[in-house]
Structure 1
Amino acid sequence: MCNQKSIPHKFIFLLLLITPILAEWNTRDYIRREHSLTKPYQGSGMSVPYWDFLGSTIVTTNYVRLTPDLQSKAGAIWNTAPCHTRNWELQVQFKVHGRGKDLFGDGFAIWYVRDRMQSGPVFGSKDYYQGLAIIFDTYSNHNGAHNHQHPYISAMINNGTLHYDHDRDGTHTQIAGCEAKFRNYNHDTHISIMYKDDTLIVSTDLEGKNAWKECLRVEKVLLPTGYYYGASATTGDLSDNHDIIAIKMYELDLLETQNKDEDRSHIIPSAASFEAPRERIEDEKPSMSGIKTFLWMMCIAIIVIVLVVMGIMWYQKRQENSRKRLY
């Protein structure tokens, strides 16, 4: 006869054994392979299934490097399949590292946009795009007024008419952002970009704690279906290695309030909290210090005195020549 007291222990043991399997099965059930990039990267030959590459991008066994730690490089990776999912989450494992201690740059961006494989000035991709950009800006050119330090993560929604202003670090067109020190870590760094029920939530795991920390949350964001995921990076006079290690896209369930038959392919990207770009105002020139003002006035006084003396000398010489003619 079985010991009745041992049954609960056996049940608990069996439950603990099955739970991880169910959890793993549940994750795989929602992951979309056609929008994901995981090791091993190579398919047949040098191609990677569902992904195309641009510029300086190279593929190794451990990472996809968008740019090396060299000046004036640009690279990108683009998904070949459009996303027709309404609610989704994109989890990206990345690494930004380089030799620079105080100066480094320029940064990289993760995209959900209409036009793929378009090189350009916005961290390696095109300006005036349509869609969403999550920008990882590592270099501050200290132009314009902003109240944050770098590195900095920001979100920008573009309907195709907006210009990303590097001279102002994009602060005039961002919808939200947060400071995030993501450079030169020895452990893995991750970002989660979730779009659900017209709400954009960006979270990070930069400290290796396996826990998400919310960076920004913006409601009433409209993004169409049928756009493409991508990542791009650029370097200028300053540089960094910009590596993508993994991209995982999860399809999220529709809410009961959402109409599953609604056609969202023609939506124009927008955000209710978006502020129209402010008029560009050049930085005010610093006022002269008291010493500089004094020196400037003294120079003017010396010039005036010299002119007066030369005038007197010229007048006296003229008078002397006039007297000589009389005699």
Structure 2
Amino acid sequence: MKHSFMAPFEAVNDFTGMRVISDWELGGSAVAHRGFVRLTAEKQSQKGWIANRNSFEGGEWSLAMELRATGESQACRESSAALPPRCHAASRPPAAGERLQLGFIAAAHTSSPLAHPAPTLPSDLPPSARLTCTASAELSLPCGGRLGIFFDTFQNVDQQHHHKHPYIYAMVNDGTQHYAKQILPGAHDNSGCSFDFRYNEARQDVSVLNHTRVHVTYSASQRRLNLRLQQTSVGHDGEWYQCLEAKDVELPSSGYFAISSATGDLVDNHDIMHFVVRGTEGVDNDHQAWLDQQKALAAMQQSELDLRPAEAVQRDYARALAAHTASLKALSASVDKLQQQMEFQLASIQAGVAIARTTVDDKANELREVKERVEKESSSAKVISELKKDAADEMKQMKTEFKEALKSGGGMSTLSFYFLLLLIVALGGVGYNRYRKIMKSHLL
């Protein structure tokens, strides 16, 4: 399995916290999630790749890959003011479209696609240059790229094509040529195929569970490269679609597998869930062997089912249906219980809010009454203070007049004394009545 990977990806780098895949290197915008590897997200001008650290030895091999290309945009046509900026192609280089590439990098140039280049290569070539140029589809000699299978979703407006997109095609390099964009890919017979592997939001079968299976085989003895495809979405019969069969293909006996992706103005999510490589030495027809194995497994399962008596089959179906019905009822009951709990909690919260609001209103009224009472008591205290002051003034004046009367009369008879005492009592009664009236008007 050192040349393969498949979900789930559980290993995590303790230092970075990112998921890692044994024997594989991720770079650029590529990120490993638990269920898939996302090479490029739905964002413009991204490049991501994943490459195997171990070279594959042998001229006969077969690989199976499961990819998922999803996005919101339905299609991009010629640029116009009515289209969103992501679909405009006039302002970008002609080869800056969106594609995913499966590449086979020759091992003769380096001990690893991530190692430093050999001395014969340019000295300024960085360690990751081979994979970087793989991501940009430059199958030139410094990259060591010998085979590139392109999954192209974008139709450049400055090129003419004899096919419709999405389009899948293969390019082979003998190690001496630089990559040149195919002006007319599909003009030659059997150079590729149109296959709608892209799931946009407008498709009725768009789902995270739907993806495309890719099966590629190469035989050095027959010098033949074969590519076929299969969709897993509902509505497809599951049969394999023969995309291309190229002859006279000569690839090195050892090399590294790498997958890369690039986005331009058209953006998509490019995910890889499954990538398995195996040798096919001694296998006459890997395609047919794989298909026969699948059919044999399905037939065996069907025969095992048919060997049972009809009563047993009916009984098993009834049991399964009853168990399924019971599960649905239990789930429905759980949902109802959860709904009732939520409604109960919501009602309790609403009641608590109402009670709190009433309590706050009552406290506010009590504070208002206390404030008014304090204001009234303050006013009454002021009146009492004024009455005390008036009474003190009256007593002072009476003492003064009494002293003056004693001085002027040379003495006081008993009658005059009683008359003065009666006057004092009368004045005190008048003051007391006035005080009661004031207290009644302010306190009652």
- Range class of TM-score, shorter chain: 0.5 to 0.7
Out of 34, 38, 60, which is 2:33 matched to?
60
Which residue does the alignment assign to 2:269? Answer: 241
Which residue does the alignment assign to 1:92? Answer: 65
Q: Contact 2:190–2:244 at 8 Å: present in 1 too?
A: no
Out of 143, 146, 149, which is 2:164 matched to?
149
TM-score, normalised to structure 2, is 0.47
Out of 194, 201, 205, which is 2:226 matched to?
201
Larger helix fraction of residues: 2
174 and 250 in structure 1: CA distance in 2 versus 1, 3 angstrom threshold = farther
Which residue does the alignment assign to 1:40? Answer: 8
Q: Secondary structure at the match of 1:159?
A: coil
Cα separation, 1, equivalents of 2:282 and 2:191 = 25
Q: Contact 1:122–1:164 at 8 Å: present in 2 too?
A: no
Cα separation, 2, equivalents of 1:140 and 1:165 = 16
Q: Contact 2:139–2:173 at 8 Å: present in 1 too?
A: no
Which residue does the alignment assign to 1:78? Answer: 51
Which residue does the alignment assign to 1:228? Answer: 256
54 and 169 in structure 1: CA distance in 2 versus 1, 3 angstrom threshold = farther
Which residue does the alignment assign to 2:99? Answer: 107
Gaps of 5+ in 2: 14-18, 77-86, 88-96, 108-112, 114-127, 200-205, 285-444
Larger strand fraction of residues: 1
Q: Contact 2:69–2:271 at 8 Å: present in 1 too?
A: yes
Deviation at 1:168, TM superposition (A): 2.4
Count residues with an aligned counterpart.
Answer: 224
Deviation at 1:171, TM superposition (A): 6.0
Q: Contact 1:71–1:239 at 8 Å: present in 2 too?
A: yes
Q: Secondary structure at the match of 2:54?
A: coil
Cα separation, 2, equivalents of 1:180 and 1:214 = 10
Deviation at 1:152, TM superposition (A): 0.4
Which residue does the alignment assign to 1:265? Answer: none
- Bigger mean CA deviation after superposition, 234-243 or 74-83: 234-243
71 and 61 in structure 1: CA distance in 2 versus 1, 3 angstrom threshold = same
Cα separation, 2, equivalents of 1:139 and 1:55 = 21
Q: Contact 2:100–2:150 at 8 Å: present in 1 too?
A: yes
After superposition, the C-alpha distances for 1:134-161 in whole angstroms (9 at most, x for unaligned) are 0001111133442101110000001233
After superposition, the C-alpha distances for 1:62-101 in whole angstroms (9 at most, x for unaligned) are 1100000001100000011101022111100000011111
Deviation at 1:167, TM superposition (A): 7.2
Cα separation, 1, equivalents of 2:241 and 2:175 = 31
Which residue does the alignment assign to 1:314? Answer: none
After superposition, the C-alpha distances for 1:239-297 in whole angstroms (9 at most, x for unaligned) are 111111110112112369xxxxxxxxxxxxxxxxxxxxxxxxxxxxxxxxxxxxxxxxx
Cα separation, 2, equivalents of 1:48 and 1:140 = 34
Q: Secondary structure at the match of 2:2?
A: helix
Q: Contact 1:143–1:167 at 8 Å: present in 2 too?
A: no
After superposition, the C-alpha distances for 1:86-144 in whole angstroms (9 at most, x for unaligned) are 21111000000111111275010001112634244564454414311100011111334
TM-score, normalised to structure 1, is 0.62
Cα separation, 1, equivalents of 2:179 and 2:135 = 10
Deviation at 1:41, TM superposition (A): 2.1
121 and 113 in structure 1: CA distance in 2 versus 1, 3 angstrom threshold = closer
Gaps of 5+ in 1: 1-32, 257-327
- Bigger mean CA deviation after superposition, 123-132 or 103-112: 123-132
Corresponding letter in the other structure for 1:199: R
Q: Contact 1:107–1:123 at 8 Å: present in 2 too?
A: no
CA RMSD after TM alignment: 2.5
Corresponding letter in the other structure for 1:192: H
Structure with greater Cα Rg: 2
Corresponding letter in the other structure for 1:41: F
Cα separation, 1, equivalents of 2:55 and 2:4 = 12
After superposition, the C-alpha distances for 1:213-249 in whole angstroms (9 at most, x for unaligned) are 1100012211112110010000112211111111011
Which residue does the alignment assign to 1:215? Answer: 243
Q: Contact 1:75–1:124 at 8 Å: present in 2 too?
A: no
